[in-house]
Amino acid sequence: MALRAISDLWRPRTTVGIVLDAGSIRAVRLARDESGPRLDEVLSLDLPADRPVHATEIERAGSLADERARVVLGLPARQAALHKVRLPFDQPDKVRRVLRYEAEPYFLDPIDDLVLDFLPLPRSGDRSGLVFGASPEAVAGALRSLEPAGLDPDVVLPEMLGLIQAGERLFRDAENSSLRLLVDLGFEQTGLVLFDGDRPEAARTVMYGGRDMAGHLAESLDLEPGQAETLRRETDPARTDGPAAARALDEAWRPLLVEIERTLAAWLGGRPDAASRAVLCGQGAALPGVEAFLAERLGLPVETLSRFSRDLPDWPEMAPELVVPFGLALAAISPGPRPNLRQGGLAPRQALSRYRGPLALLAVGLILALLLNMGDLYYTYRVQARAYEQIKSEINRVFRETAPGVTKVVAPLAQMHQELQKVRNEFAGLDPGQGRVLDLLQAVSRVAGAHEGLRITNLSLTSDDLELAGEGGSFDVIDRLKNELAALPFFSEAVLGGARMDPVSRVLTFRISLKRKHG
């Protein structure tokens, strides 16, 4: 509990997830309290696709973050690869040591040229995890895109990881646990993640999005790029003004539909069940008629995330276009491993002011712990010293009662051993004529131990007899044992009786009676 409380000091209390693309800026601010993360503030800004993003527009996203907030920047799929793998260990430190060797078969680029990290999947049971990587140049380029606004993100993660994290959280709060296909209809790409309940089963990015559809419309209908984008955003693909527009819209959607159908066939092929529904998010989820259009083309029930999230108590107003930045912010504020592609020379220079409060609390806690430990050590020392003196006094008292002839006690244990040896020498055994009992038992043990497979189960010694019972060996071995015991100088006669073979366990049991010699 104490370690968890200390680790909570280093967990950010606020995180801001930011996603930039050619057509929009999306940002989500999450705040953490005792009940967990909550949606604090959002920014959704649509931009003209034919011009670069201005610094003032990026500053609006940065205004969601104060100096202590952890800023997470999303890296698009064309710059980052993500794969689901089985991690070799449960401990994150061990996984990091072998991550490059484990990840090498999954990446096309040379593994030494990539920045890698991983995230275990919760409740997987088979150590499943997500391994992702990007080139240092891609990470550095993403960081430079925020420099004009003076933003320096703490964390860089793939946008696909944000989509997966958001789906895990949103579907975890849903009532049923059927298969769902989460579709992120973006401007430059389309993300697909198949969930079984809240567990991601497969993920893929199709490099086809709203920009490509608008480009197809502009070429087919001879429109300006702005006109084509307006047509794409404002026209229901199932209800158009004319056959030319209908045919152009259908052809613009067709490449994406084909890829979604192929992906579903690959993921669900051969399975008796199928995805119960598709849930739409991203910029394209707001297109008119997109639910009915995709439901008809894919043969699946389709709903937008805004309709799905109405039944979620914690996220009733989750806008579809904010899902990816929400997932990125969630990855940085949740407990457990904190993945980050900003490593090595790309690592952020942390401001001391951000950690001034936690460091002060940690220093006070360490001082208090040190004082308490010193007090406890002194108290324990005094208690043990008092107990030692009491034990020493009791030893001396018992020693003097046991050996009253000893006047000076210096080394109680050694002196008592000497006194016992004197008594042992004076009393050799039960009968001086029969030899010492310890010598007798030692001789019997030596003879019996020489026969492998024999086990002595009972031994009874009186002044006249020694009764020996055991098991194992064979009749010949037991007969030799009897003769060897009879030859010992301590016995006058040996009788073997009760030797029998158990018909079930096939174990031989025996009993030998030995008469002791009298002086």
What local confidence, expressed as pLDDT, does residue 5 receive?
A: 46
pLDDT at res. 191 = 95
At 510, which helix (H) or strand (E)? strand 508-516
- State residue 424's pLDDT score: 64
454 versus 79: the higher-pLDDT residue is 79
Higher pLDDT, 313 or 14: 14
What are the tens digits of pLDDT across the range 125-141?
Answer: 678 899 999 999 999 99
The strand pair at 36-46 and 70-75 is best described as unpaired
Beta carbons of 320 and 304 less than 8 angstroms apart: yes
Q: Are 59 and 150 in contact (CB under 8 A)?
A: yes
Res 274 pLDDT > 50: yes
**Higher-confidence residue: 4 or 197?**
197
pLDDT in tens, 462-484: 878 888 888 887 888 888 888 88
The pLDDT of residue 426 is: 57
Tens-digit pLDDT profile for residues 285-331: 989 999 999 999 988 899 888 776 655 556 656 788 999 999 999 99
Interval 257-266 mean pLDDT: 92
Percent of all residues in the chain with a pLDDT value above 70, rounded to a whole number: 87
Average pLDDT, the chain: 83
pTM for the model: 0.65
Q: What is the structure's pLDDT at 519?
A: 59
Please give the order of strands across the beta sheet that includes 155-158. Answer: 36-46, 24-33, 14-21, 70-75, 155-158
Q: What are phi and psi of 457, to 5 degrees?
A: -105, -20
Mean pLDDT for the stretch of residues 80-107: 91
The residue ranges of DSSP E strands in 58-158, in sequence order, are 70-75, 80-86, 115-120, 128-134, 155-158
How many Å apart are CA 204 and CA 170, to the nearest integer?
19
